[in-house]
Amino acid sequence: MEFTQWLALLAICALGAMSPGPSLAVVVSSTLAQGRSGGLQAALAHGLGVALYGLLTVAGLAILITQSPPLFTGLQIGGALYLVYLGGKSLWQAIAARGPRRAAEQRKGAASQGFLVAFLNPKLAVFMLALFSQFLQPDFGLPEKALMVATVGMTDALWYCLVVMTVSHRRFTTTLQRGSRVIDGVLGVILVLLAITVMANAVSIGRG
């Protein structure tokens, strides 16, 4: 792969990572609930989930996901249900007081939340197919394919790590902690609304 091609791939990956959505809400929520450590766990795990879809794409398995409506719809519904769970959890945190036990439980789930919100998003398969089809060549060997997978995963992880470092900066920490219940409530509502949108889209595709 030529360097200019790689730069183009990197730019598209960065723009994709920066687009707002449930992933951003989950990473920010993990950061507010658990601090920088929890946020970084969620960010790195999310990058791993994105890299996994990149690996599935170069292996050809992503085509199966996008060309199998039942599988695609099933993943969408699973993702929507998971967003409902995360949204409900965030709303509960807005109501209940944060205690040491709650914080410890949240720390255990940061990485899994970051990974699952990526893995249960079949639209990533569509994005990877559209993206890699522009760059993947028939004569590409393992090094070129590994570079592409690493680029999408690391770009995503680094972007969300930057988000975590910004949100957890001490200039913002005090203000965010004071309004943590309001923020948890807003994030919870956003996640539930996103889940409803995803579910409605999955049902419409299933009927179609």
* Pick from 20-29, 125-134, 144-153, 189-198: least confident: 189-198
pLDDT of 100: 46
Split at pLDDT 50, 70, 90, the class of 101 is very low
65 CB-near residues (< 8 Å, 6+ apart) = 56, 71, 72, 75, 122, 125
pTM of the complete model: 0.75
Q: Domain ranges in the chain?
A: 23-207
102 CB-near residues (< 8 Å, 6+ apart) = 93, 96
Select, from the ranges 103-112, 145-154, 193-202, the one with the highest average predicted confidence (pLDDT).
145-154
pLDDT of 154: 96
Split at pLDDT 50, 70, 90, the class of 157 is very high
